[in-house]
Chain A
Amino acid sequence: MDSTACAALAHRALGDRLVCFFLDTGFMREGEVEEVVRLLESLGLPLQTLRVRDRFMDSLRGKTDAESKRLAFRETFYTILGEAVKGAGCEILIQGTIAPDWIETSGGIKTQHNVLEQLGVNTKDRFGFRLLEPLLDLYKDQVRAVARHLGVKEASERQPFPGPGLLVRCIGEVKKAKLESLRRATTIVEKHLVSLPSPPKQYLAAIVEDDRSPAGSELEGALKKVIPAGRAFYLKGLATGVKGDDRAYGKILLITRGPPDPSDQFGLPEKMIHADRGIVRVLYALPGPRNRGDYVVIVRAVETRDFMTVKPSVIPPNVLRPIALGILKDERVSVVAYDLTSKPPATVEFE
């Protein structure tokens, strides 16, 4: 959304002197590469699509830590862009970095892939181009207003999707089968939630290994005061969050055997964090058949103006049920859970 608005703005300023690059990283959603190409070409933008999936996958192999993954993505991203800029004979790279990107990156919460100068990186020396970032002062809702003003209506209404894409929703190491299950689950979540009368401001799926350990008696004691039959487990994967303006990279707690409506439990994360400060996310298992699969799929839907703070969306159980059942048809998935966590202490994306 930000990149498209930025490209439309740059096209208006520069006309034929502009070249647009779209990186097919391998972390796009189902059908998204074709969709983005169609959208950008319909705006009359001179587009070059770079098919670079293998280079990203190679740079990420064996990496499990969220920041290592983000840094590897950024490095590959700009190495490829540097080559493309040079090949096209350009001197300046214009990119759609917006306020939350540099605020979160320079605040050390997470390294957004599109922030360089604010970290003191000299892009001319390092990658061979000067940077222009016209949207730097704006938030998502303001970028939508810019896109509407420029007459790119379809772009202004597009669901936000992060630059590193499914990579930051594939918690821990990226593997081919895990990514396939995530892509399939993403399609199901989006299909059901976009058709609600008032869709959440953001809605997505994430995936993590179903490797559980019991959360211990203190935490279960705190849980049972709220949900008497509930059980609590730590998953092995870690998630990114923000607590008191500091980065948090911590535990994901999975609550099982609760009543069916997660929106009754939005106060739970605070109580769980008071019992264990290392927790960053609290997930709530949705009812469904028990599979023997390897992965937990997480459904996240949030309400927000500007993505700096968010609260979980109220999604009725009768909407969540077919989502869970649809995702559980994938035999690699053992359980589908709803994310109860606001921002702070979590972030919108998982890594």
Chain B
Amino acid sequence: MNIPVVFMGGQYNHLIVRALKELGVESRLIPPSTPLEALKVDGLIMGGGPRSVSDGLEKFGAMPGVIRGCPSPLLGICLSHQLIGKVMGGEVVKGRLPEYGKTVIRVIDEDDILRGIGPRFTAWASHNDEVQKNHGNFAILADSEYCGVEALKVDGRAVYGVQFHVEVADTPMGKHILRNFISLYRS
């Protein structure tokens, strides 16, 4: 099984590779310039990064196209969660109350990705921007006290976004969520 990680420049992108390897999945970092046609993969994870989606979609290489057309399961984390929200017609704004460090995620709809975790779990987050509710072609799967869209699923596709970091050791249920993501391909 092969799930590469798109390196978006964030602090934890390499930790996603580590977590996947620990789950027995082959993984490596690939650049955001990688076009959809070059991706012969079982799934794809896109990491976080320092940029803002408000800088313009052209700053994110081939990734907006990959989000629109990726046939295999796709998970976007933090910045890439926001990118998925934006590409799918949503709005991304600077959060009024940013989250850095511990947060408590409230599951609204566990779907496949959050199965067996809720109704609340502790996670680590680090973001200034956030996806706005009430816009875009996606369902909201989770929120928190300070952030209205902590997890989303694109309508009719196995494309997910999480605002928090499943790949860090301080998100105890992170590995469980990654396992749920991996089994999307296996099912």
A contact set with B: CB distance below 8 Å? 99, 103-104, 107-109, 139, 242-246, 269-270, 273-274, 277, 304-306, 308-311, 341-345
Contact A311 B102 (CB under 8 A): yes
Contact B169 A243 (CB under 8 A): no
Q: Which residue of B lies closest to A310 (CB)?
A: B170
Q: How many residues of B contact A (CB 8 A)?
A: 28
Contact A309 B9 (CB under 8 A): no
Q: Does B49 contact A (CB under 8 A)?
A: yes
Cα(A245)–Cα(B97), bound, Å: 16
Report whether over half of chain B's contact residues are helix, strand or loop; otherwise say mixed. mixed
Contact A311 B170 (CB under 8 A): yes
A68, chain B: closest CB distance, angstroms: 22
Q: Which residue of B lies closest to A137 (CB)?
A: B14
Residue of A109, A246, A341 contacting most chain B CB atoms (<10 Å): A246
Enumerate chain A residues within 8 angstroms of B129, measured Cβ to Cβ: 244
Interface residues of B in 86-140 (CB under 8 A from A): 97-102, 124, 126-129
Contact A344 B15 (CB under 8 A): no
Report whether over half of chain A's contact residues are helix, strand or loop; otherwise say mixed. loop
Cα(A343)–Cα(B170), bound, Å: 10
B contact set with A: CB distance below 8 Å? 9-15, 18, 48-50, 78-79, 97-102, 124, 126-129, 165, 168-170
Residue of B10, B79, B100, B128 contacting most chain A CB atoms (<10 Å): B100
* Known contacts A311-B170, A342-B101: A244-B50 contact under CB 8 Å: yes
* Known contacts A244-B127, A244-B128, A311-B170: A306-B15 contact under CB 8 Å: yes
Enumerate chain B residues within 8 angstroms of A344, measured Cβ to Cβ: 100-101, 124, 126
Contact A107 B10 (CB under 8 A): yes
B127, chain A: closest CB distance, angstroms: 5
A270, chain B: closest CB distance, angstroms: 7
Contact B101 A269 (CB under 8 A): yes
Cα(A246)–Cα(B14), bound, Å: 16
Enumerate chain B residues within 8 angstroms of A310, measured Cβ to Cβ: 170
Enumerate chain B residues within 8 angstroms of A341, measured Cβ to Cβ: 101
Cα(A164)–Cα(B123), bound, Å: 32
A88, chain B: closest CB distance, angstroms: 33
